Amino acid sequence: MRKRAIGIFLILLLALVSAGADKKKKTYELIYQDVQLLTQQFLALKEKIEKNSEDISFIKEHLDELLNIVKHLQTEQASFKEDQKKIPTQYQILLEKIETMTLQLIKFSEGLTEIKMALPPSPEQQEENLEDKQGQPPLPKKEKEDKKEEEQTEEVPEKPPVTHLSPKEVYNMAYSDYRKGNFELAIDGFRMYKEQFPESPLVDNSLYWIGECYFSQKKYAEAIEQFNELLLNYPRGDRIPAAYLKKGISLMELRKKEESLTVFKLLISKYPLEEETKIAQQKIRELLLENER
């Protein structure tokens, strides 16, 4: 009986040991499978990391190139700003030189005019004056007929009286009238200056101030006519930017928006550094806002 019990115990023990071995075997198999799966995931992750590393290297190279370009642009921009700073100085120097030369020309021209006025009349002029005083000799028949025909034609407008003032005095008097608001007197004075001293370097300025006189009286059509004459005959005058501006504003006042826009744009393109250009840009914005309403 005792042996039988020991035998049964051994059988049960073997069964338990066998069951434990199977469980242990299954556990190892599961662990192995997990390890294999983790290995595959690790390899896939490693592959992705390597690919990302390549992408990062590529991006880094491009970033370096972009940084170099930015540095180059910054250097060029700094150089451009330095050059741009020099422009107003150079421009001012040029203006001062032009102003000095203009003053010298004015003095020279006035000196020539005064010398001409101080010179005695030529022999021909003396003879003409003598004939006027004593009476002209009888004209031949043919010349008499020609003279009659000339007298029957329209009378030529009289020239303004010759002044004995110097060009500087005439100009200053006209400008003084303009400053005082005596615009009609100023117009007459500037016209006298323009007609009697046509070789003076301030003839273009006299045209401009005539236009300003009309502009101040709100006679915009007459002002435009004067500014056009200045722009056409003296395109290099120092009052040209101001003439463009006042012409554009006159056209605005006459409700000619498209024409005024054209004049303002021409001023901006030709004289980008002038003060008048800033005003023209503001006027363009005003016109565009009016069109949007």
Residue 240, C-beta contacts closer than 8 angstroms, at least 6 positions apart: 230, 231, 234, 271
Structural tokens at position 183: 């615009």
Residue among 128, 273, 288, 112 at smallest CA distance from 197: 112
Element (H, E) at 235: none
Q: Where is pLDDT greater, at 128 or 35?
A: 35
What does the alpha-carbon distance between residue 194 and residue 204 come to, in Å, rounded to a whole number? 8
* pLDDT, mean over the chain: 75
Residue listed under structure tokens 């002038």:
274
Assess contact for 283 and 275: CB atoms under 8 A.
no
149-155 — which CB contacts under 8 Å span 24+ positions? none
- The CATH number corresponding to 165-292 among 1.20.120.140, 3.40.630.30, 3.40.50.1820, 1.25.40.10 equals 1.25.40.10
What pLDDT, on the 0 to 100 scale, is given for residue 40? 80
Q: Which residue has the higher pLDDT, 132 or 31?
A: 31
For the cut 80, the answer to whether the pLDDT of residue 209 exceeds it is yes
Q: Answer for the pair 191, 99: CB distance below 8 angstroms, yes or no.
A: no
More confident residue, 6 or 98: 6
The answer to whether 188 touches 223, Cβ cutoff 8 Å, is no
Instruction: Find out whether 229 and 204 touch, Cβ atoms under 8 Å.
Output: no
Tell whether the model's pLDDT for residue 139 goes beyond 60. no
Tokens 């303002």 appear where?
A: 264
pLDDT in tens, 21-72: 666 566 767 777 777 777 888 787 777 777 777 777 777 776 677 767 767 6
Between these two residues, 247 and 112, which has the higher pLDDT value? 247
Asked which of 74-83, 163-172, 197-206 is least confident by mean pLDDT, the reply is: 74-83
- Picking from 227, 253, 160, 225, the residue whose alpha carbon sits closest to that of residue 198 is 160
Q: Which of 20, 176, 127, 200 is nearest to 188 (CA)?
A: 176
pLDDT (0 to 100) of residue 246: 96
User: What number is the average pLDDT over the span 122-128?
Assistant: 51
Question: Which residue in 97, 106, 278, 292 sits closest to 203, CA to CA?
Answer: 106
pLDDT above 60 (res 4): yes
